[in-house]
Structure 1
């Protein structure tokens, strides 16, 4: 060190400082405590902390998708998780959003499975049989509520056939179904969702088939919806049940610097097993899947990351 002289020592210290650099703090809007978005955000923060990164991820509890996009717009967070249908609404300034929000996608991280749940020993065997009945349709500000409203509309449960919608989050929905306050609950999340697995151990459940509504949903709202299957064995199911799938996006404000996005995606792809462990079983995160963000444009930093990492 002494042999370097003043100029050499200054250059060395400058090099060390530029390599370490300041830590960039990114707040990530997730979802309610105990939900899959919250689990993903917490795991992402832990993965970043465990590595030698110039990032800090701060999970922020929210009501989920709609609330998250609004927080991005208000600039109170830099990152967010949201369902694909809500994210596309935000980009185009429609439905819950009065104007377009300049949001960019980093990755499609996993697929939600729609759960339309009723007691197995009850009288309800189809979605349309719920006309006039109380149904838990998701919390205010959640993507579940958006999807539930669209599903009920294409099922013809409007006007004098409308369900009596109860705007409840997952925990409250589970309690309401268990006590008989509602006749059904709608949930969109990974498989298995722990709260529903716990409920299935004490209350026999029936999962209503929804695959027949995928076509009408796509015709009316676009290709963000797909046909997926709840597998046999999940929640004690004796056979698979067709349902509706919708992707979940990791999003950022358009002004988040490209180097921060590239570094974050390095963590996401290196640690995806840890990120998805408590969110959805059996999922994989692959580049060809991750870049499928529909009408939500990729962040330039994400484009650069995928090109440099995968060609």
Structure 2
């Protein structure tokens, strides 16, 4: 069989280490291997090239993805999915490694139901919101980017006696916000999964400000849509001059951490081994309770990820 690798959806640090390991390990296993450039769009348009060691030399430390990624509206239409499959057939590609998130896996689930293709998904999203795995590729790097920003913002907040509201990524999942708030000692954390008791927080913060507290750090997940609201509340009610910092896409970039590089290696090895040893593919690699395994794609896309209750308790969001 020939193998191919593709990135789909939002980029995440760790994609390049995964791409390099794919080339190195497929070569070691004696398998012909290809890149699909620009994700699903590239599959539709036939942007497929044979991969070599020279393509991946010196990319371990780089963020982003050398083979690029995309989101594709065309892939929702059968005629374009058929065109994509015909392109794979030209190169005898029967095994595909997909670096992506929930949307990418849903697309591949449908694709594999319609055409004889085996794929293994590697959970790759800084939101860490894929069901069934404790860890998604890119999360550690993103958390370290946020941690660095929050540490620096706290420096200026304490110097000027200000409140800072820092918005981090996370449309429907507050994982980044929760872990970042814990790691930075933020006084406030706002996420989609839990209600923020503003009355209780108001009473406590007013007492602390009256007792000498000079600054406040609030971490808000973008999906809550409450960044401006919290900033207004801190300034008008708590009485601290307030600034807003939206970290945005810097969270997606940067040199992958050691953790993300090593996780990328293990995810890819498990994906390729499964494609080579089993016809029962169409799986997603997971990392759970310190071990790697594979789960059915149907289980992944039919369930919703939820943040561990212990994390929520640690940030005092629930009783």
TM-score class, shorter: 0.3 to 0.5
TM-score normalised per structure 1: 0.33
TM-score (norm 2): 0.32
